[in-house]
Amino acid sequence: MEIKFYHYYKIWKVFFLGMFIIIGTIQILHAEMLHNQASKDLKKVFVSFYFEGATLPEVFDAIKAKTDFSFVYDKNQITDLHPVSFKAENQSLESVLLLLSSSHKLSFQQVNERISVKRMTNPNQKAIQARVTLTGVVYDDEGEPLPGATVRIEGTSIGVATNALGEFTIEANDDAVLLITFIGFVTERIVVGNQTTFSVTLTLDDASLDEVIVVGYGEQKRANLLGAVESITTEKLVDIPAANMSTLLQGRMAGVNVGGPTGRPGTTSAINIRGTGTWNQEPPLFVIDGFIRDQAAFDVLDPTEVESVSVLKDAAAAVYGARGSGGVVLVQTRRGKEGKARISYSGSVGLSDATSFPEMLSAYDQGVFRNNQRRIYSPDDFAQGIGVYAPDELEAFRNYDYNWMDYAWQSSMVTRHTLNVSGGSNRVRYFGGGSYYNEDANLPGTDLNKYSLRMGIDADITDNLTASLTLSGDTRKDTRPFNREDGNPNTLNGAFESLIRTPRWIPPYVNGLPVRYGGAIASHPIEINKRDSRIQNTGSNLVLNAALEYRVPIIQGLKLRIAYNQAEGHAYVNQLRKNYDLYDFMMVGSNGNLISNVPIGSTRINNQERLQEDYNYIKNYQLNGSASYARSFGLHDVNALVVYEVAESESNGFRAMRENQLIPGFDLQPGFAEAQDATNGWAENNARLSYVGRVNYSYAGKYLMESSFRYEGSVRFAPENRWGFFPSLSLGWRISDERFFKDNINFIQDMKFRVSGGLLGNDAISARQWEYSYGQQGGAYLGGSGVTNGLNPRNNGLILSGQTWEKTRFFNAGIDMLLANNLKVGLDGFYRYTFDILGTRASSLPANVGVNNMPAENYGRMEGMGFDASVTYADNIGRDFGYSIGLVGGWNRNNVLEIFQNEAVIGTWRDEMGRMRGGEDGLTAIGIIRTQEQLDLILEQTPGLTIFGRAPELGMMMYQDVGGPDYSDEPDGVIDVNDLRMIAPAVPSIGFSLNLGANYKGIRVDTQLGVSGIGTKVFYDQQSYRPPAANSMLNMPAFWADHWSPENPNAAFPRPALYGGEDRRSTFWMRDGTTMNLNIVNVSYSLPSHLAERLNVPQLRVYFTGRNLWRIINPFDYKDPTLSRFDTYPTLRTLNFGLNITI
């Protein structure tokens, strides 16, 4: 019985439980059905109908009766449509409307409970477009309403701002995507779907709000920057192979211009920040990890070991005192971060080749060119066929084309490998990295190798004490041929002059013997390389950085820090110069101008045979002790910093040299003549002591102030003049945080005005001109039979004790804006006034005084002005495609206010006062004297006219006669140097770079387009417009084939010799200076994360990088505009393929 009762109990319990579940489910389903019927989502409203011959108004009324939807339509548009007949059983309202759309060509637009009906006008028109009113509230990460946030419909300009309670209302289509943005927070992306109300919480964007920019002696949040500071991370630089870091900054920062003299591997790129304010050197200062270094230390860095690069362009550089006027480049290298060990490898290999070589006269065209020269130099000899190329020789030249560059030049390999490891715990963090870079020879004998290694560790010894240690080293070997004809060993002008300008009928070798051609070959670069005549620079550096930072626990926000840097550098230069033999061969042809293969003798070519070895050692240290304080008091933020800095450097070196090699192949000092040796040595030291202070204040993030100073002393100057004080003050106003701005302007998220002013210095001059110094000079007989070396006073024994550094008052005003559509704008205008510029008054003393080298004095003054601008925009189209556009550019100019000049030029066209320094002088060309009628008219108008000492002749250039002796502006009937005028005054150069990027899923493309020289004038280089002398066989650019001759009077260019003013620039050779170049194209593909995870590889990326791909606008048709002359080392184009992998 008890057992039965128990079974009944279990049965009833299960029954009642089942009934409860069924009833609950029915209630839930019923409530859901009621909700769906009241839903605004057409997919969730279900209806049943049966229509037979019903009109459309009747159908709409029936739907309205069973749902909450009403229809709006123009009866005139639908009354003539055919009746409706269909049956719907529990179908969604969306499917019913789609059926009506298909059968009657109607479109429906839903706005909440109202549906408007229209006739379709486009076959591609969407049948149903749901538009709903969306409402919501936006909160910050602490749950507080966020007023002023932007709510925008993705892909459109439609948007609203949240009110004081963080609320918003906006109409959107049901398939729309909302973007909710606010400065300092991560953008939230929400698909509308069937939602109509939203509660959105934004999270802090550490990469935006907390992004810190490296500034002098510290870091600042980007949002609080008051100075003109440019900053870039190296993410977009790591794929670009470059021999130096400076090159990678090209076109990346507003107001920062990067240029180099040549494409030869190993040469340094020049960095200029906002133009120049002096006629002396004004280089930027380089600071790496808080310690002052030089450009060589910056260039040796690999971008994979650099976190960021910042550039101080205005009074923000005042904290660097006497070295800040040229701007400051600040580098923060990578540090370890908490997390598991991550190993990253990046490697690339590619080809490097010339963008172009100048097209030269063919052998035949040069023969004609030289014959026409002979006609001018020696008309009688030309008439008799003496000293010319005979017809049979010219005909033979048609079949000759010995291009020496083809024998010497080759594509080179560019190889780069980097390996980094980083990670750590919450107490100890580490980073280690190494890199290798090699660029082998385009020109045999030219090679560059670079190695670097960096290791750093940060350790929290206690909760309040952190120790940091970094050890880095690098080695660099730069090899190039030595040719005594090279005026500039960096550009190898002599070598390239021979390779490019040797006549095309002369082969470099005949039967394996190098050709001399009767002395026409000044140097033979190919043979020089075979003889291993070279200059090899080897350098190494070892750098130690150590720091201790103590966070004082009893005073919140107070930090004490001591940092020490020591750097040692070694440089060894080995110059192995060797003479070599060239061969002459029997000459054939009617006039003996064709070379045979029969050698007749050799000549030893003097290439300054010697072994010269130079060694330099430099050691410096910098010690910084600082105290900083950062604290917030309600709406008040206060930061203060004081620094004590002392730095010393010393260097020494020696040279050992012997000439005339006695033992061939024994390339050491004992292998050269002992009797012809020489030694030399040198030493230098320098020291600085500085006190630095800075205070930052912010109220509510709206009102900002920064004030700094540097009090600095340098032994470069006399004791009474070696201390200087360099203050600065900056103010900022974030107007976008003002209530009146937020309530009335919703398309700007952030806007900040800032102004700054300060005093900067420049001491890039020869040191210790305030004290007597001496050099060694031979030639004194002090007893005995030999000549004894003596002492020679420098600067002719003159000293100047009042000398000090140049000073610049710098003023800047700027505005930073972030618009609601992700558009960022930065504008800066600046003015600089430089005084106490150092210069010499060389002509102020009579010649009979005997002083030709005076110490520099502080007397000059200049002013400069300009603006910088940067605009960036980034957005997404859909979920997978994104793009970015960046534009940086600027304009600057200067005016000379006071400069020492010869009194004779004051008030004339040569007077530099009141105008921009620089410019090009020359002659104003009228044109080529083509016909006898033109020549007769010239002589009739100006009897006795001469053009640089010659009577006018056919084929010569005619110029305007604009002046006479003593800078007179009265024509004197003579064309000579007195007719020179400023034909291309220095003008502000406008330039910009356009950086474009796009990404689709794992594919990314970045390009950089550079435009420069807008508004300027440029000239053909003198080597191209000055014909060679009568005894020179140098070839000329191909455009000279169209030169004036009696047979070619309508030529584009004048006669090939003595055309008048051939040594002078003229407007004939002037062109518009605008250039445009496709600088960089980078294409990369990152393996999708789900595939990378399968391979246990967090990141795998392959990439292609091309540099100097396309010269779109070129003022010249014979050379690259970046080259100062056509016969020099060319600009290089590189194509690289690489791999980046992280494990």
| CATH code for the domain in which residue 320 is found | 2.170.130.10
Residue 515 falls inside a structural domain:
no
Residue 170 falls inside a structural domain:
yes
Range of the domain at 312: 238-340
Q: Which of 172, 201, 230 is the last residue of a domain?
A: 201
Which pLDDT score is estimated for 152? 82
Average pLDDT over residues 541-547: 96
Pairing mode, if any, of strands 774-780 and 748-762?
Answer: unpaired
**Is residue 213 within 8 Å of 225, Cβ to Cβ?**
yes
For 713-745, b/e burial (b = at least 16 CB within 10 A) is bbbbbbeebbebebbbbbebebbbbeeeebeeb
Residue 1133 falls inside a structural domain:
no
Which pLDDT score is estimated for 10? 42
Per-residue pLDDT band for 849 (boundaries 50, 70, 90) equals: low
Average pLDDT over residues 347-374: 95
Looking at residue 151, its amino acid is V
Q: Is the pTM higher than 0.75?
A: yes
Average pLDDT over residues 716-743: 90
Q: Is the pLDDT of residue 1056 over 90?
A: yes
Per-residue pLDDT band for 472 (boundaries 50, 70, 90) equals: very high
Question: pLDDT digits over 22-57, tens only?
Answer: 334 334 334 444 344 445 677 778 888 888 878 888
Q: 190 and 136: one domain?
A: yes
Q: 187 and 255: one domain?
A: no
Those residues whose C-beta lies under 8 Å from the C-beta of residue 649, and which sit 6 or more positions away, are: 618, 619, 620, 621, 685, 686, 687
Name the 3-class secondary structure at 277: coil
Which pLDDT score is estimated for 625? 96
Q: Which of 180-194, 577-591, 673-687, 777-791 is predicted least confidently?
A: 777-791
Residue 327 falls inside a structural domain:
yes
Per-residue pLDDT band for 16 (boundaries 50, 70, 90) equals: very low
Question: pLDDT digits over 784-831, tens only?
Answer: 444 455 566 666 566 677 788 899 999 999 999 988 777 899 999 999
Per-residue pLDDT band for 597 (boundaries 50, 70, 90) equals: very high
Number of independent structural domains in the chain: 4
Question: pLDDT digits over 81-91, tens only?
Answer: 888 888 888 88
Which pLDDT score is estimated for 204? 63
Q: Which of 122-136, 297-311, 850-864, 1060-1074 is predicted least confidently?
A: 122-136
Q: What percent of the chain has pLDDT over 70?
A: 90
Q: Which of 323-332, 592-601, 870-879 is predicted least confidently?
A: 870-879
- How far, in Å, CA of 913 to CA of 903, rounded? 12
3-state secondary structure 422-487: EEECCCEEEEEEEEEEEECCCCCCCEEEEEEEEEEEEEECCCCEEEEEEEEEEEEEEEEECCCCCC
Average pLDDT over residues 673-695: 90
Q: Which of 258-272, 377-391, 551-565 is predicted least confidently?
A: 258-272
Name the 3-class secondary structure at 32: helix
DSSP at 553: T
- How far, in Å, CA of 130 to CA of 40, rounded? 9
Average pLDDT over residues 853-875: 88
Q: 196 and 247: one domain?
A: no
Please give the sequence-ordered ranges of beta strands (E in DSSP) within 973-1096, or none if there are none.
974-975, 981-984, 990-1000, 1003-1014, 1017-1019, 1070-1072, 1075-1086
Q: Which residue bears the tokens 């003097």?
A: 606
Q: 189 and 272: one domain?
A: no
Q: 173 and 247: one domain?
A: no
Burial of 1027 (0-12, 13-18, 19+ CB in 10 A): buried
Residue 499 falls inside a structural domain:
no
Q: Which two tokens stand for residue 385?
A: 């066929």
CA distances from 1032 to 211, 972, 1062 (A): 63, 34, 15
Which pLDDT score is estimated for 26? 34
- How far, in Å, CA of 130 to CA of 653, rounded? 82
Q: 281 and 195: one domain?
A: no
Q: Is the pLDDT of residue 1114 over 90?
A: yes
Q: Is the pLDDT of residue 571 over 60?
A: yes
Q: 245 and 335: one domain?
A: yes
Residue 1112 falls inside a structural domain:
no
Read off φ and ψ for residue 761, nearest 5 degrees: -130, 165
For the chain, the average pLDDT equals 86
Q: Which residue has the higher pLDDT, 917 or 211?
A: 917
The separation between CA 141 and the C-alpha centre of its own chain, rounded to angstroms, equals 38
Average pLDDT over residues 61-72: 81
- How far, in Å, CA of 931 to CA of 11, rounded? 127
Please name which of 294, 326, 331 lies closest in space to residue 618, comparing C-alpha atoms: 294
Q: Is the pLDDT of residue 384 over 60?
A: yes
Per-residue pLDDT band for 1087 (boundaries 50, 70, 90) equals: confident
Q: 324 and 245: one domain?
A: yes
Those residues whose C-beta lies under 8 Å from the C-beta of residue 416, and which sit 6 or more positions away, are: 241, 346, 347, 348, 349, 435, 436, 437, 438, 1136, 1138
Residue 325 falls inside a structural domain:
yes
Which pLDDT score is estimated for 205? 59
Identify which of 3-17, 69-83, 677-691 has the greatest average pLDDT. 677-691
Per-residue pLDDT band for 852 (boundaries 50, 70, 90) equals: low
Q: 196 and 249: one domain?
A: no
Please name which of 1138, 1132, 1128, 1142 lies closest in space to residue 493, comparing C-alpha atoms: 1128
Average pLDDT over residues 194-210: 69
Q: Is the pLDDT of residue 495 over 70?
A: yes
Per-residue pLDDT band for 11 (boundaries 50, 70, 90) equals: very low
**Is residue 233 within 8 Å of 308, Cβ to Cβ?**
yes
Identify which of 102-106, 296-300, 805-809, 1048-1052 has the greatest average pLDDT. 1048-1052
Residue 611 falls inside a structural domain:
no
